[in-house]
Amino acid sequence: MAKLGRAYEQVVADVAKEFDPSADVKVGEWVKGPDGLREVDVLISGTVDDIARRVLIECKDYDSRKRRIGIAVIDATDSKRRDLAADFTLICSNAGFSKDAMRKAGRVGIGLIGVLKEADPRIRYKVFDEIYTRRVDLWNKADIDVKVVTGSVATWTVEEIAYQGASVLAWLQHRTVLFVVRNRVVNGTHVLRFRFGHPVLIQQGGLSAFMTEISVRVKLTGQWIAQEVEIDASSGLYDWLRKRVRLAPTGEPHKLSYKDVKFGTGGTVIEIHPDLDSLSPSPVKENEVHLEIIDLGGFVVPEKFADLDPLLVPEYADPVRVGIPPESFRSF
pLDDT tens for each residue of 250-291: 888 889 999 999 999 999 999 999 887 644 567 788 889 988
Looking at the structure, tell me whether residues 307 and 209 fall in a common domain: yes
Provide the H-helix boundaries in the chain: 6-19, 71-84, 99-108, 168-183, 314-317
pLDDT surpasses 90 at 202: yes
Residue where a domain terminates, one of 83, 98, 125: 125
Task: Find the CATH number of the domain harbouring 63.
Answer: 3.40.1350.10
Strand 51-59 to 88-92 pairing: parallel
Looking at the structure, tell me whether residues 157 and 302 fall in a common domain: yes
Residues above pLDDT 90, as percent of the chain: 81
- Cα(237)–Cα(92) distance, integer angstroms: 9
Does residue 45 sit within a domain?
yes
This model's pTM is above 0.75: yes
pLDDT, mean of residues 18-24: 93
Supply angle C-alpha 253, 258, 260, rounded to 5. 140
321 Cβ neighbours under 8 A, 6+ residues apart: 179, 183, 190
Looking at the structure, tell me whether residues 33 and 112 fall in a common domain: yes
- Cα(105)–Cα(97) distance, integer angstroms: 10
Residue where a domain terminates, one of 107, 125, 143: 125
Label residue 33 by pLDDT band (50, 70, 90): very high
> pLDDT digits over 128-175, tens only?
999 999 999 987 677 899 999 988 898 999 999 999 999 999 999 999
Provide the domain count of the chain: 2
Q: How many CB atoms lie within 10 A of CB 75?
A: 13
pLDDT of residue 140: 65
pLDDT, mean of residues 61-75: 91
Looking at the structure, tell me whether residues 30 and 105 fall in a common domain: yes
Does residue 86 sit within a domain?
yes
pLDDT of residue 1: 42
Residue where a domain terminates, one of 104, 125, 146: 125
DSSP run (H or E) holding 28: strand 24-33
pLDDT of residue 67: 83
**Domain hosting residue 37, numbered range:** 6-125
Q: Describe the chain by its helix, strand, coil percentages, rounded to 5.
A: 20, 40, 40
